[in-house]
Structure formats: C-alpha cells, structure tokens
Amino acid sequence: MKANGLIVEYNPLHNGHVYHIQQAQKLTGSDCTIAVMSGNFTQRGEPAILDKFSRTRAALSSGVDLVVELPFLYAVQHADLFAKGAVSILDALKVEHLVFGSENGTIESFHQALKERIKNQAAFESILKQQLDKGLSYPEANRTAYELAGISSTLDLSSPNNILGFAYLQAAESLYTPMQVDTIRRIQADYHEQSITGPIASATSIRSAWQDEKTQEVKAAVPIKTFELLETEELHSWEAYFPLLRYLILTRPAETLRQIHGMDEGLEYRFKKYIHQSLNFQQFLSLIKTKRYTWTRLQRVCVHILSNTQKHIINEHLNGAACPYIRILGMTKTGQAYLSSRKKQLDVPLYTQLKDGMHPVADLELQAADAYYSILSPEIAAASRRQEISPPIFE
C-alpha cells in the first residue's frame, strides 16, 4: 500500500478541501490518504469551530482514510514549528508523498527558493534580525528578509499557503525524510477572503457566513457532512471564551501570566492594562495589537492563556524535536489496513487512546481539550472529555 499525506485544519472542511483530497490522490496514485490535522485549536490561534472529533468525521466522509492529530504542542505555533510537527508525523508514518496546496502550485519554485535560502542563509538571518530589531512583526521581517536576500525571486513568500508549503519543504529537508513533497494549486482566490462567492470558498468566509446565518451560502460551499455537523454540534468561537479569558487576565498576577508561552517582552502588562476596558475579544485584540505583535501572534498567546500552556513545557518538549507519538483520531478500513501494513516499521509509539499521565505532550493535549470544552455545559464537556480517552472513530 502507498499513502499520501496532507496537513490540514478543516475549520471546517469545505469543497476546496475535498478538491485537494481528490487531486492529491490523483497526482500520487496512492491507495490511502492520511491527514495530519490540528486538534481543537488552530495554527492562527483560534478555537476550531467544530471539535476535533466532528472534523475527523467530516474528513473520513470526504475521502480521508486516516486522521492523525497534530498535537496542540505544535499546532498553535508559528509556521516552522507547525510544519516540523506535522511533517515529522507523516515521516514517522512512512508516508510516500506529502501534497500541499499553495498559491504558487509548482514544486520547482519551492525547491528553487529553498536552494536560494540555504545559499543565502547568513545574509537572510542578519537581515531578519535587523528587521525584528526595528520593531517589525515576525512575518513582516521574514518577508523583507526573503526579499532583500534575493530569495523569493521565483516564489511569492507573502502568500500564506506558499509560506506554509515552504515550511513543510524545509521541515522535510531537515528531517532527511524519503517522503516526496509535491504541491497543487489552490483553486480558491484568497485564504483571507471574507465572503462566499461560489462553491469554493475559504474556511474564514464560511465561518463568517455561518455566524451571519447565511445558511444557504454555506451549504453551497461545503460537503453535506460538514453542513450537518454545523447544524447539530456545539460551535466554538473566540467570543464565547472571552469572559473566561478576561477572568484569567484579571485574576492572575503579571508574574503568573509571564510564565505563559509567548508572553514575552512585558506583553503581560499590556494584556492587564487593556483588559478592563474590553467588552469583547475583537475589541481586546484591537486594543493590544501593535506593528510588532500581529493579530495571529496575540491570538496564539490568548490560546496559551486559556490552555495554561507554560513556557517550561514548551521549552522541554518543543525544541525543534520530531513528534514523540502518533495519535489516531479516526480511520476507515483502508486507513486501518495501511496502519497494519506499517505497524512493524514504526519508530514512534502509536496511541489509539490517550490517558492521563501517558506523556507530557499528551497531558498538554488533554489540558487544552479541557479548556476548549469549558464553555460547554458540564454534561457535554464531560462527554467530550470522555471522547478524548476513547478509541478512535472508525467509519
């Protein structure tokens, strides 16, 4: 059996994702599609609209054979760490191909950029540092460094999916994986696109349309399974967590907030200063945002406050290391057959159920899950928590 791997968030799974699943399968001719998916919180620092189990069901009903969790440790991080975690999981699963969607769509451009990046490493890093010292945000400084070091000649490294794809390729190189990396062109115009204009729309525009009760527009842009889940499951958004976030920022002293991952350079005082006058999450973020601190970075810090993710756990377990285990969220018969065929070759433990105390990274996962479920009624929260320690979904 041959497998191809995708790195996904499915927040929520839409027609563009289904197209990606199908095209990747066609391109690679593999028998099994494996998706490494972020759990309850996404890379941009948001609670996923549907929990990991619902999104796993949507994936399995749309052509994915095996859904593996990208641990929270890697998922709510900047692109390089996110990529490192995800690629190391696919590598550990002995996947033959990694296929990512990008604005560019040609893998040669990525390889070319990577070559240039390696050649101009010293210049790149020195410019990056300069720009950061000037007070630019990390993405801005990064973009400028690519440009000034003459790296992005063939690849536009200001497009979000090009950035992520480039990070995947870098991670694959650094892991010396035999996995072949390929890309397909995304057919949707813009990742940040705010409104639905046809059957292919961005996840952002779908979430926003759902919130505005534009049910029919959403229906046209997602598979029926996603639509059903949106209608029946508990939905999550930052605003629902705002009272809890507010409580935490108000009642924890600055020294406690400073222990939170990402709370650097005195940011804790900024958080405490502006929380009193903030009546919702959007307002709070607008107040604390600066040129240096991007919205995304601040959202990630907020997720880490909620999940009580402390610097020491990140320092002990992240450090650019490969993912220490593989956690199966769900599979089809095909996915199960693939796992059986590879089981003996795996160098990393395969977890079909989490339990407390099994691994510090898994404990952090459960802690983040408890934070995610905390806005639900105690009954539903307890039931969701039980899913975390139950066997994978089999469909």
Which of 77, 137, 161, 307 is close enough to bind its own copies by CB under 8 A?
Answer: 307
CB of 277 to its own copies, least distance (A): 7
The dihedral built from the CA positions of residue 149, 153, 158 and 160, taken in this order, carries a sign that is: negative
Q: Is 382 exposed, middle or buried (0-12, 13-18, 19+ CB in 10 A)?
A: exposed
Tell me the window of 44-52, 207-215, 224-232, 276-284 that interacts with its own copies (CB under 8 A). Answer: 276-284
Under the binding rule (CB under 8 A), the answer on residue 300 touching its own copies is no
Cα gap 182→220, rounded to integer Å? 29
Q: Is 12 exposed, middle or buried (0-12, 13-18, 19+ CB in 10 A)?
A: buried
Considering beta carbons, is residue 163 or 235 the nearer one to its own copies? 235
Under the binding rule (CB under 8 A), the answer on residue 382 touching its own copies is yes
Radius of gyration of the chain (CA): 20
> Footprint of its own copies on residues 256-275 (CB under 8 A)?
256
> What is the residue whose two structure tokens read 């975690």?
85
Residues across the chain: 395
Under the binding rule (CB under 8 A), the answer on residue 279 touching its own copies is yes
The contact pattern for its own copies, residues 102-131, with x = CB under 8 A and - = no contact, is ------------------------------
- In this structure, the strands spanning 326-331 and 66-70 are antiparallel
Under the binding rule (CB under 8 A), the answer on residue 280 touching its own copies is yes
> What is the residue whose two structure tokens read 């527009």?
217
Under the binding rule (CB under 8 A), the answer on residue 312 touching its own copies is no
Size of the site for its own copies (CB under 8 A): 27
Residue whose C-alpha is closest to residue 154's, from 122, 117, 195, 119: 117
Considering beta carbons, is residue 30 or 308 the nearer one to its own copies? 308
Under the binding rule (CB under 8 A), the answer on residue 244 touching its own copies is yes
Which residues lie near its own copies (CB under 8 A)?
242-244, 246-247, 250-252, 256, 276-280, 307-308, 367, 370-371, 374-375, 377-379, 381-382, 385
